[in-house]
Amino acid sequence: MRCVGTGLLVGLASLSSASCAPTAPAGPEDAVVMGALLPFSGSESAIGRNLEQAMLLAVEDVNAAGGLDGRPFDLRSRDSHSSPERGIEQLIQLLYTDRVAYLIGPEENDLAREIAHDVKALDVFHMLPGYAAPTVARSETRGGRMRLAPSSLYVGCALAKLAVLEDIDTVNSLTARDDYNIGVSSAFSTRFTSLGGTLLPSVTFTSGERTYTSQIKAASASHAERTLLAAYPATASTIVTEWAVSGRPGTWFLGPALRTEVLIANIPKGSLDGFLGVSPSLSLRSECHVAGGAEETVDCTTGNAAAFIGRFSRRWDGEAPLPAAHFYYDGVVLLAMGLVYAQATTGTIPSSGYELQKIIRELNSPGHDAASWRDMKAAMAKLRAGIPLRYVGAAAEYEFDDYGASKHHFMQRWTIDGDAFVDLTPVPVDCVFRQ
């Protein structure tokens, strides 16, 4: 088990951590506790600490802005071990032992799905910042789920749009058999064919196999102009390495889960140079301008994201936030804003996750004045005065659909050059669909 208690008093600039022992104090008795499940060990351990740092920074910022009428927020983290079997035990601990009313994460799609029944039964508020989190597909009257990063539908749509912009006529996919990657592949295929492209025979596989030689051969046999590699980094690195060694022709599209140093560090240098991928754009909508024309050229500035990277790096000894960390920071702030506003307007905080989700959705209506993560003190003061504000966060200007899913308008296009990722112009997401 890993558990971190921030225990910040209002106005303190430093962050204190509690022991991970089960008997260690979790923080101030009156703290508003948020529970998080993150991969601190196992195959995804490289990202866990970074995401936790983003949430701890958010806790520090909202507490410095007054907390919940003087009550501090506190973060209690547990380790998913990058494992569905071990992770579910820690999720159960958060819900039934720690009795958290506000759950953030997990990163793992299957874990989030497995716990959905309990979230609904307990009427817990569930914030899903991760790329691979399940889609929020329907309204509920118990349990409030919100998704911040673009869903597989947005990703697939952007990849199909990218294929058209690249004048690609035929595609196929090499896809891991899990909910998220199957969803990305399906959305990509559906949108690409609707745009007039031709889908050639695709191949699926089970992650964790010793070799993927037969699957690579089968995917290559279609002679598609571009193959979507829809997989997580550990498996994708094996596939790319075997593909490079085999000398087979072909070119790739890469999904957002593959924008990680873990992939680059485990493939032959240069083997993915020039291939294109997409991931969530961290430019605010107001920072982007669509030039128009057939190519739909998008120009975006990156001042907001750069400011957050600077803030994060100063707080954590020069370490930079992962792109996903921007969403985890925002998840904490959105939750805090909803609680502060509810307290101000009703005299109490919602006992229902469903009610809190509704409040956060309504706060982020386009007609409300904006509140930036850069000035939390001013934002919290207005919320405490009962003034509704929409949130301009570290990752996005938030607006939610009726189901609690954040709306996205652009995806970031990127490529690989040696051992580095290189950002290119963003891609507009203009698909019309239900989450």
Given a cut of 70, the residues of the chain with pLDDT beneath it are: 1-27, 137-139, 292-296, 432-435
Q: Please report, as a single letter, which amino acid is at residue 376.
A: M
Q: What is the structure's pLDDT at 81?
A: 87
CA gap 420, 94 in Å, rounded: 37
Q: Which two three-digit tokens encode residue 137?
A: 């597909």
d(CA 87, CA 80): 4
The pLDDT assigned to 213 comes to 95
**pLDDT for residue 83:** 82
Measured in degrees and rounded to the nearest 5, phi and psi for residue 308 equal -70, -40
pLDDT digits (tens, 9 = 90+) for 379-432: 999 999 999 999 999 999 999 999 999 999 899 999 999 999 999 989 888 775
pLDDT at 5: 39
Q: Two tokens at 174?
A: 């090499």
Q: Which of 414, 413, 367 is nearest to 387 (CA)?
A: 367
Here the tokens at position 264 are 């680059």
Cβ burial, residue 206 (10 Å; 0-12/13-18/19+): exposed
What pLDDT is stored for residue 42 in this prediction? Answer: 81
Which residue, 190, 186, 87, 179, is CA-closest to 133?
A: 179
| pLDDT at residue 172 in the model | 97
- Give the C-alpha separation, 386 to 268, whole Å: 56
Compute the half-sphere exposure of residue 321: CA atoms within 13 Å on the CB side of its CA.
30
pLDDT reported for residue 173: 97
Q: What is the pLDDT of residues 98-138, one digit of tens each?
A: 999 999 998 777 888 888 889 889 999 999 998 888 777 66
Q: Under a CB-based contact definition with an 8 Å cutoff, are residues 177 and 308 in contact?
A: no
Give the per-residue SS3 of the chain: CCCCCCCCCCCCCCCCCCCCCCCCCCCCCCCEEEEEEECCCCCCHHHHHHHHHHHHHHHHHHHHCCCECCECEEEEEEECCCCHHHHHHHHHHHHHHCCCCEEECCCCHHHHHHCHHHHHHHCCEEEECCCCCCCCCCCCCCCEEEECCCCHHHHHHHHHHHHHHCCCCEEEEEEECCHHHHHHHHHHHHHHHHCCCEECCCEEECCCCCCCHHHHHHHHCCCCCEEEEECCHHHHHHHHHHHHHHCCCCCEEECHHHCCHHHHHCCCCCCCCCCEEEEECCCCHHHEEECCCCCCCEEECCHHHHHHHHHHHHHCCCCCCCHHHHHHHHHHHHHHHHHHHHHHHHCCCCCCHHHHHHHHHHHCCCCCEEEEHHHHHHHHHHHHCCCCEEEECCCCECCECCCCEECCCEEEEEEEECCEEEECCCEECCCCCCC
Ramachandran area for residue 208 (φ above 0: left; ψ -120 to 50: alpha; else beta) = left
| Residue 432 pLDDT | 58
Q: What is the distance of C-alpha 100 from the center of its chain? A: 21
